[in-house]
Amino acid sequence: MAGRRTVETLVVMQPIAVDTGSPDHEGRLVIANGLLVAVLVRLEAPEHDEIGGWFLEVGFGRLKGLRAPTFLTLDAATRWLRGELRP
């Protein structure tokens, strides 16, 4: 039990196409320790401020309703997710 806090959350990003009703299709299912916790979508529509960034489309569990920044890379998203999911 003592060592539990030092174990990092295992985050797996699984590619998935998402229907957002916009040109933003490319997505990732975010699976943390075997549970689906979020869906990220890459911003592609020209109207967006941060084109190419990754947007937290939806979060589950502890990520539900959270407002996240748009991430420049999936690595940046993973770091943020680990921080939010830290036990």
Which residues form the interface with other proteins (CB under 8 A)?
Answer: 20-22, 24, 43, 45, 47-49, 55, 67, 70
Q: How far is the CB of 28 from other proteins (least distance, A)?
A: 15
- How far, in Å, CA of 84 to CA of 2, rounded? 20
Q: How far is the CB of 21 from other proteins (least distance, A)?
A: 6
39 close to 27: Cβ distance less than 8 angstroms: yes
Q: Tokens in use for 85? A: 């999911």
Backbone angles phi, psi at 42, to 5 degrees: -85, 130
**Residue placing its CB nearer to other proteins in the complex, 8 or 50:** 50
Judged by beta carbon, residue 21 or residue 34, the one nearer other proteins is: 21
